[in-house]
Amino acid sequence: MSLQRPAVLTDDFMRGLVARVPSTSGGTWKLTEVYTGEHLVDLPQSTPADIERAFATAREAQRAWAATPLRRRLAVFKRAHEIFVANALTTADLIQAESGKNRRMAVEESCDPPMVMSHYLKRAPRLLAPKRHGGPVPVVSHSTEIRQPKGVVGIIAPWNFPFATGISDAIPALMAGNAVVLKPDNKTALSPLHGIAMLEQAGLPEGLFQVVCGEGPDVGPTLIDNASYVMFTGSTATGRTIGERAGRNLIGACLELGGKNPQIVLDDVDAEEWVSSTLFGVFGNTGQICMHIERIYLPDSRYDELKQKFVRAAAALDVRAAYDFGPEVGSLVSVDQMHRVLSHVEDAVAKGATVLTGGRPRPDLGPAFFEPTVLEGVTTDMLCGVTETFGPVVALHRYRSVDEAVELANDTDYGLNASVWGSDLERAQAVAARIESGNVNVNDALATAYASKSTPSGGVKQSGVGARHGDQGLLKYTDVQNLAVLKKQVLGPRPGQDYDAYVKQMLSGLRMMRRTRLR
């Protein structure tokens, strides 16, 4: 198909980005424009030796960075914030070219790192400052909690939000005094490479933020074996493998994994508001958002009304390839992903589900396009009934009571995100509190939870371990040193004091400290 690529995406510009990737083998990956399938640039592939050298370079840079006063480290990110905002449209061009998402979503993704920077610029000084605590004996002892960087953090970023996860997850790690070695997905390496270039423009020392590229099985083991901590976003199956290897190495890991995210619509919902927001919650980023909604539970009393309105709106979505803000839905990331989505729909139909709208690839729009799809009659013996489809597909279900809806929503191995809709906020929040999920949105599908940078965001059950955002999102990249000081030797019996008297004194002291709340 004919599509005018943005002028900024010149061959020289893209070759300059991939030149940052260490590679001595000569192997390359052909990176293509998703909308058209046309070749963009050859991406070097890193060998295990390349990865080890990247870690060695990062460790050397990290020692100097960790010794840099925090205010000077944070000054880099104050400058970076403005650079990222000023270059948001160029970043969006790269994101669109490599991932196929529509421009509205690409610009939103470009804004995530500045939001993370802004939050931690406020919180980091307090979180990283030494904190003095009382010791075991008042007055003569104290203890200080000192936050030390872990060293070199390995980040494995997915293709669905390469810029947000590749850069945003690195920001708190860098602020805390760590270096970073990032492995983006081969399909979407350009935008994070661009992000690193902007960080270095803001003053981040060269060598501190490294990128290695390659297929997961080729790159992952060496990356994990050299890392001080691992941050991974991706599938539950891969997360288990990474977690097991990190555990053998006795290093920490934060894993945001898959989901089969439910939405419960209560009978007092405002239909127009619900439809408008849920279209994004289901079809945003062409359904390739870790937190997007794949199961919707509608009250029996309003099922036909709500179904009709949602299906009509889904069928009317503007789906096409464009580097402007017109399309509401873009392409899937690859032809392989399109075939995965198609296989889920075909399996559901073969087992009795009904397609209410969509259900077909759209090769006339581009090689990886798929129609926004709404299914009815999906059961747990179907792939899309229990497995994350990760595409523009949602199943509608009926419920008779709120208790039944909550039970159905919780009937999954996953627990990443959920949504509850209703006009009575107190009632909706009470329902939300019953859902087994790390994130629950009331009267929104996903954005409110994810964009609340002050609050940790992670999964429960098979959806992950740990969290990004909030204080936890920075502190996880640090080790705690407990520096304890005893000013006078008072622990143990005094000279000439027998142990019975010492024990009575100690027990009396414990009672006194509890009564006076000294300890």
Report how far residue 232's alpha carbon sits from residue 243's, in angstroms, rounded to the nearest whole number: 9
The C-alpha atoms of residue 31 and residue 99 are separated, in whole angstroms, by 10
The answer to whether 358 and 374 are in contact (CB under 8 A) is yes
The Cα 220–Cα 213 span in angstroms is 10
Determine which helix (DSSP H) or strand (DSSP E) holds 418, and give its type and residue range.
strand 417-421
DSSP string, 346-414: HHHHHTT-EEEE--SB-TTT-TT-B--EEEES--TTSHHHHS---SSEEEEEEESSHHHHHHHHH-SS-
Strands 439-442 and 417-421: parallel
Q: Please list the residues that pair with 179 across neighbouring strands.
A: 152
Closest listed residue to residue 410, CA positions, set 282, 261, 240: 261
Give catalytic residue positions: 256, 290
Tokens found for residue 360: 């077909």
For 249, other C-beta atoms within 10 Å of its C-beta total: 15
Residue 127: other Cβ atoms inside 10 A: 19
Strand order in the sheet with 478-486: 131-134, 141-149, 478-486
Under 8 Å between Cβ of 458 and 440:
no
Show the 3-state SS of 49-110. Answer: HHHHHHHHHHHHHHHHHHCCCHHHHHHHHHHHHHHHHHCHHHHHHHHHHHHCCCHHHHHHHH
CA distances from 311 to 261, 356, 358 (A): 19, 7, 10
